[in-house]
Amino acid sequence: MKNYLTTMFWGTKNKDEFVKGIQHSVNQISPHGIFTGDNIFTYGRNLSFLDDEKFMTAFNKHIETDVEASVIWRINILCWAARQSMRIEGDFIECACYKGISARIICDYTDFGKSDKHYYLYDLFEHSSDMIHHSMPEHGEDLYTKVKNRFAELEQVHVTQGAVPEVLHQISPEKIAFLHLDLNNAPAEIGALELLFDRVSTGGIIILDDYGWLAYRAQKEAEDPFFEERGYRVLELPTGQGLIIK
Ligand SMILES: C[S@@+](CC[C@H](N)C(=O)[O-])C[C@H]1O[C@@H](n2cnc3c(N)ncnc32)[C@H](O)[C@@H]1O
C-alpha cells in the first residue's frame, strides 16, 4: 500500500501550521493509502495510479517542479481520459497548455506518436497586466519556443501561440475526441466551448481543470448553464476538475 505525500496546499493562512495539522492527523491513522497535496487528503485508498508503471514513468520523466508533482492525481485523470479517448473519432485539444507538461505526459502514456491522431495545444505563453487571468512563473517570450521543442519529435502535435477563442479560427480540428480546458479565464473557456463543443464526438471526453475550485468559480457559473442548455451536467471530481462525457 503506497502513499503519496506533498505539502502543496493552496489558500492556507499559515502553511507550516496547516502541514503540522495534516501530520498530526496522519499520526492518528494506519499509514497506508495516504495522499496529501493539491488540497486533497486521503487515507485508506488504493491510489491505483501509483501502481501504473507506464503512468509513473511518464509522470516522473516530465515533471519539473513541486507544483507539478502535487497535481499527480489531476494528471492521472487526464491520462485516463486521453487513453479512453484514443478509441473515439477525432483529435485532441488543450486550451491552454502553459509549459506543455501534462500534454507531454499524455503523449507518452497513450503512445500518441504511434497514433494517427493530432494534438492541438494553444496558449498565449506571455502575460501582461491587462489580462483578466493571472500570470504563471514561466510566462515570457521564450516559452513558446520551449514548448515547441518539448514536442519536437512528435510531428502530429501542433503548438500555436494566440488568444483562445480567436486563435481556434486559425487552426483547430473538425472532430474532437478529447478536450482539456485549463484557461483560468471564464470568457475564454465559454468562447472555446461555443466553438468546439459541437465538434466533440459522441463518447468524447471534456475535462475542465478549474471547474471545482472556488477561486475560479466564475468558470463554473458560466459553464453550468452552457452544459444544462445542451442536456449535460458536469461531474465535479475531488481533484477540482470537471468531467463531461459527450
Ligand atoms: C494553469 S495554466 C495551464 C496549465 C496546463 N494546462 C498544464 O496542464 O500544465 C493556464 C494558461 O492559460 C493561458 N491562457 C489564459 N487565457 C488565455 C487565452 N484567452 N488564450 C490562450 N491562453 C490563455 C495562460 O497563458 C496560462 O498559461
Q: pLDDT digit string (tens) for 36-54?
A: 999 999 999 999 999 999 9
Q: Whose CA is nearest to atom 10 of ligand 1?
A: 183
| Of residues 108, 51, 53, 99, the one with CA closest to residue 78 | 108
* Atom of ligand 1 at shortest range from CA of 127: 25
Count of alpha carbons within 13 Å of 101, Cβ hemisphere only?
Answer: 20
In the chain the domains, ranked by start, together with CATH numbers, are: 4-42 (no CATH), 66-245 (3.40.50.150)
Q: Whose CA is nearest to atom 22 of ligand 1?
A: 123
pLDDT in tens, 86-120: 999 999 999 999 999 999 999 999 999 999 999 99
What does the angle CA 103 – CA 93 – CA 189 come to, to the nearest 5 degrees?
110
Q: How far is ligand 1, taken at its centre, from the CA of residue 98, in Å?
A: 5
* Atom of ligand 1 at shortest range from CA of 98: 27
* Atom of ligand 1 at shortest range from CA of 71: 8
What's the N-to-C CA distance of the chain in angstroms? Answer: 35
Q: How far is ligand 1, taken at its centre, from the CA of residue 23, in Å?
A: 33
Q: How far is ligand 1, taken at its centre, from the CA of residue 239, in Å?
A: 18
The pLDDT confidence band at residue 171, using thresholds 50, 70 and 90, is: very high
8 Å CB contact between 243 and 45: no
Q: What letter represents residue 28's amino acid?
A: Q
* Atom of ligand 1 at shortest range from CA of 209: 6
pLDDT in tens, 205-223: 999 999 999 999 999 999 9
For residue 151, the 8-state DSSP code is: T
Q: How far is ligand 1, taken at its centre, from the CA of residue 187, in Å?
A: 13
| pLDDT reading at 128 higher than 90 | no
Helix, strand or coil, per DSSP, at residue 185? coil
Q: Whose CA is nearest to atom 26 of ligand 1?
A: 98
Cα dihedral sign for 100, 101, 107, 108?
A: positive
Q: How far is ligand 1, taken at its centre, from the CA of residue 45, in Å?
A: 31
Contacts (Cβ under 8 Å, ≥6 apart) of 111: none
Cell of 231: 442536456
Q: Give residues (CB < 6 A) around ligand 1.
A: 94, 96-99, 101-102, 122-124, 133, 136, 163-164, 182-185, 188
